[in-house]
Amino acid sequence: MNTSFGITAISAVCLVTLTIGALGFRLSRTTSDFYVASRMVTPAWNASAIGGEYLSAASFLGVAGLIYSLGADMLWLPVGYTVGYLVLLLFVAAPLRRSGAYTIPDFAQARMESPAVRRLCSVMVLAIGWLYLLPQFKGAGLVLHTVSGAPLWVGNLVVAVVVLINVVGGGMRSITLVQAVQYWIKVTAISVPAFVLVSWWLHHGQPVPQVTALRPDQGWALPLSGFGGVEHPVYATYSMLLALAFGTMGLPHVLVRFYTNPDGQSTRRTTLVVLALLGLFYLFPPLYGAFGRIYLPRLPAGISPDSITLLLPTVVIPGVGGELLSAILAGGAFAALLSTASGLTICAAGVVDQDLVRGRLRRVTGNDARAINGFRIAAVAAVAVPFVLSLAARDLGLADTVGLAFAIAASTFCPLLVLGIWWPRLSTTGAVAGLLCGGVLAMSAVLTTVIGGLHGGWAGALLAQPAAWTVPIAFVVTVVVSMATPSRIPRGTARTMVRLHTPENLVLDRAPR
């Protein structure tokens, strides 16, 4: 592959990100007009921003990689990534906005009135954030390696540094406009090469995928056939869908965006637009998976399936055209993981700062430290941990790692949010029990698979895709413990419930207690 195109594209993306970060707030216009100054962010813009933050390396590269290597079952992956927002829209979006919470720990504090639940949530946010950052770093390594042949760690380092400069420099505070434009850049970057590939395919004989499987009943295009060695494909598929559908509501970097909406109604509208935007984006990754099977039925040695999207144009279209398309895709992938990584870092750093650093810093410096310094220290920690981990980890599928983060989010925050919003008898003890139980089960399932490797049979399937059993167990534990401890129902529950569920345009005394 021609190195210079790809490197140029990636450097351009990094440079633009840093420039926007450095300009930061100055991008917005100074005005003397109050009407202009106090214009709210519209649902359409905010939805684009959510799309920009959400579409990560896993979506850009990982989905195509999994469809390529595991076959038709993985078509549920883009569906799952999108359907999570439908669940969010139906059960969580508007009440969560009305609660006034900025993060999930905030919601826990507002609803459960307990600092203990808040701290527990903070730990979970950090775990999910780090787990989600890992594939972003690894994706960067992969992109840079595919484009230039550089060692994998170089890409990790580049992303870590760019994100750190951005966040610590106080630049990109995830400005809505910037993230919204990011979404459209990503859509363009993935769709233009796809359109070119499709027209190439139409004009060059329309070949069909040639897939040789070990067994005749296993086919790449055959649903639930266990292609690629997946055992119990029906269970695995449903469990994955469950994790994605219920995990989206627990993603820290997505939820903070909803705060930008002025009220519950506009939050619902935003979510609706997000569904449409993600639906649009996810039309394209499966195309790359399918074309991969047509034009590159056997992966060259030492190439991860995750880089299929980047390789494809150069394989299909000889010459400069293919190189250019490949460079566009590399740039798009880098933009995707930079924006997601920045958003996640800001969230993780916010949690570390608020619940771990700030108090300690104040004690050490005697109340002299500026608040921003705490955030900076926290940001370094938030980036350093997943960076070191990404150096240690190597061959994990991008979308797989992200799936694990979704499973943990679904087993912990989903019961808390759904029951917290819809069930007045949720008690503090029940919430803690559910969070601990879901978190410990999901994490240990992930750990067992990961340390002991994939086991065969049902045990292996249950451990590799834990959501189907950890999510129901977390719900049951939360409900049963809550029923057993009615004395620990937060005192302000009735009031909080009224606040969560009453539309803002009704005149109502919303002052808490």
- Subset of 421-450 contacting other proteins (CB under 8 A): 443, 446-447, 449-450
343, 174 contact by CB (below 8 A):
yes
Residue 458: how many other CB atoms lie within 10 Å? 11
Interhelix angle for 428-452 vs 115-148, to 10°?
30
The interface region with other proteins, picked from 98-106, 145-153, 276-284, 418-426 by CB under 8 A, is: 98-106
Question: If binding is defined by CB under 8 A, does position 280 make contact with other proteins?
Answer: no
d(CA 245, CA 88): 9
Question: If binding is defined by CB under 8 A, does position 176 make contact with other proteins?
Answer: yes
Size of the site for other proteins (CB under 8 A): 71
Q: Identify which of 266, 349, 355, 255 has the alpha carbon closest to the alpha carbon of residue 44.
A: 266
Q: Identify which of 136, 165, 161 has the alpha carbon closest to the alpha carbon of residue 24.
A: 165
- Out of 15, 90, 371, 384, the residue judged to bind other proteins by CB under 8 A: 371
Shortest spacing between CB 201 and other proteins, in angstroms: 30
- Residue 420: exposure state from Cβ atoms within 10 A (0-12, 13-18, ≥19): buried
d(CA 487, CA 481): 11
d(CA 284, CA 295): 17
- Out of 10, 64, 101, 437, the residue judged to bind other proteins by CB under 8 A: 101
- Out of 20, 63, 92, 175, the residue judged to bind other proteins by CB under 8 A: 175
Phi, psi dihedral angles at 366 (to 5 degrees)? 65, 50
Which CB, 354 or 429, lies closer to other proteins? 354
Residue 232: how many other CB atoms lie within 10 Å? 18
Shortest spacing between CB 205 and other proteins, in angstroms: 35
Side-chain half-sphere of 84: how many Cα atoms within 13 Å? Answer: 29
Q: Identify which of 40, 90, 44 has the alpha carbon closest to the alpha carbon of residue 274.
A: 44
- Subset of 310-369 contacting other proteins (CB under 8 A): 346, 350, 353-354, 356
d(CA 344, CA 350): 10
The interface region with other proteins, picked from 21-29, 86-94, 277-285, 290-298 by CB under 8 A, is: 21-29
Shortest spacing between CB 70 and other proteins, in angstroms: 10
CA 61 to chain centre: 13
Shortest spacing between CB 393 and other proteins, in angstroms: 4
Q: Identify which of 350, 449, 439, 352 has the alpha carbon closest to the alpha carbon of residue 401.
A: 449
The interface region with other proteins, picked from 122-130, 157-165, 193-201, 284-292 by CB under 8 A, is: 122-130
Which CB, 315 or 381, lies closer to other proteins? 381
The interface region with other proteins, picked from 75-83, 173-181, 415-423, 424-432 by CB under 8 A, is: 173-181
Question: If binding is defined by CB under 8 A, does position 222 make contact with other proteins?
Answer: no
CA 196 to chain centre: 28
- Out of 149, 453, 456, 457, the residue judged to bind other proteins by CB under 8 A: 453
95, 265 contact by CB (below 8 A):
no
Shortest spacing between CB 99 and other proteins, in angstroms: 9
Which CB, 58 or 87, lies closer to other proteins? 58
- Subset of 231-260 contacting other proteins (CB under 8 A): 259-260
Long-range contacts (CB closer than 8 Å, 24 or more residues apart) made by 355-359: 355/105, 355/118, 355/119, 355/122
d(CA 276, CA 47): 9
Which CB, 213 or 294, lies closer to other proteins? 213
- Out of 56, 59, 103, 470, the residue judged to bind other proteins by CB under 8 A: 103
- Subset of 198-217 contacting other proteins (CB under 8 A): none
- Tell me, residue by residue from 25 to 64, as one string, x for binding to other proteins by CB under 8 A and - for no binding: x--xxxxxxx--xxxxx-----------------------
Which CB, 354 or 470, lies closer to other proteins? 354
